[in-house]
Amino acid sequence: MSLLVVGSVAFDALESPYGKVDRALGGAATYFAVAASFFTHVNLVGIVGDDFTEQDAHVFRGRKIDLEGLERATGKTFFWAGRYSENLNERVTLTTELNVFAEFKPRLPEKYRGAEHVFLANIAPELQRSVLQQVRKRPKLAAMDTMNYWISGSNAELRETLRHVDILMINDSETRELSSEHNLLRAAKHIFKMGPSTLVVKRGEHGAMLVDKSGVFCVPAFPLEEPHDPTGAGDCFAGGFMGYLASAGKHTDAALRRAMVYGSVLGSFAVERFGLDRLRTLKRAEINARARHFLKLTTFKL
């Protein structure tokens, strides 16, 4: 089943101890769509400027990614520049230029409006909600990301959007800020009252945790000796997670657990190289092999 994503498409300038790029295609919707396309057909809603070339679109071509919803506007594409610390565990934003993204009003092509699986990447909560309003029926599964900027600056709007989604997928500091609760289990209970029935907490090098009414499921991060660039890892996690669920067409406990693993698999590949580089060459067989490696990493018998 196809999967709708709305979010940023951007150019990134990245610096880490492993290298430097001045203009790499990035943005949450980009990472998400490429990761999810290994599992299912993806319809992408976003906006780019007239500096976005066919060469830039190349990463989407030859994949199951529909770009009818990618609006081309006059002006420059969203631009972000960041630098990572030596251990990749801290980053500073050097530049954020919203450019055409500042005026972004998501518009769903007619053929996207039957979406059964929807992912609202990190954008203004009122824009996230406008996407859900354009979908004809309540989706089988709607998930969203957000960030501290919206939690503190647009809390009422965010709360309104949260009422309409099934899964909230954020990191641990966002979980704590949104719920005003340090303990993640207690935080989940607060968040369930806001709307979502499932909370996925992304914990970077510590893996990810899913909490829902049936309990808790934890998956570690894949241990890598030389991660190069964490940019997009969370969006690739979301893409693997939602891509798998859309392809499975069911959201049983077993399917959600597998989705957590495929999310972790895609996130782990994303950080192996700069920007989208590793995903460009990634094969489905490698995804399956790494998922089996997660079994080895976590399996025990009593």
Q: Which residues contact its own copies (rule: CB under 8 A)? A: 86-87, 89, 182-186, 203, 206-207, 209, 211, 215-220, 223-227, 254, 257-258, 260-261, 288, 291-292, 294-302
Q: Which is nearer to its own copies, 116 or 205 (CB)?
A: 205
- Please report how close the Cβ of residue 247 comes to its own copies at its closest, in angstroms: 14
- Please report how close the Cβ of residue 225 comes to its own copies at its closest, in angstroms: 5
Q: Which is nearer to its own copies, 140 or 258 (CB)?
A: 258
- Please report how close the Cβ of residue 285 comes to its own copies at its closest, in angstroms: 14
- Please report how close the Cβ of residue 88 comes to its own copies at its closest, in angstroms: 9
CA distance 264 to 138: 28
Q: Which is nearer to its own copies, 110 or 225 (CB)?
A: 225
Question: Coil, strand, or helix at residue 260?
Answer: helix
CA distance 22 to 275: 11
List the strands of the sheet with 19-26, edge to edge: 19-26, 10-16, 79-84, 91-97
- Please report how close the Cβ of residue 234 comes to its own copies at its closest, in angstroms: 17
CA proximity to 98, closest of 61, 58, 57, 149 = 149
Q: Which is nearer to its own copies, 111 or 292 (CB)?
A: 292
Phi-psi region of 88 (alpha: psi -120 to 50; beta: other; left: phi over 0): left
Q: Which is nearer to its own copies, 110 or 226 (CB)?
A: 226
Q: Which is nearer to its own copies, 106 or 207 (CB)?
A: 207
CA distance 89 to 221: 14
DSSP string of 11-46? EEEEEETTEEEEEEEE-HHHHHHHHHTTTS-EEEEE
- Please report how close the Cβ of residue 85 comes to its own copies at its closest, in angstroms: 10
- E strand or H helix that includes residue 23: strand 19-26
CA distance 34 to 25: 12
CA proximity to 253, closest of 298, 210, 302, 294 = 210
Is residue 106 within 8 Å of 127, Cβ to Cβ?
yes
Amino acid letter, 42: V
- Please report how close the Cβ of residue 223 comes to its own copies at its closest, in angstroms: 5
CA distance 284 to 47: 28
- CA 136 to each of CA 108, 112, 165: distance values in angstroms, whole numbers, following the listed order: 11, 9, 15
Q: Which is nearer to its own copies, 283 or 296 (CB)?
A: 296
Is residue 77 within 8 Å of 11, Cβ to Cβ?
yes
- Please report how close the Cβ of residue 110 comes to its own copies at its closest, in angstroms: 37
Q: Which is nearer to its own copies, 23 or 203 (CB)?
A: 203
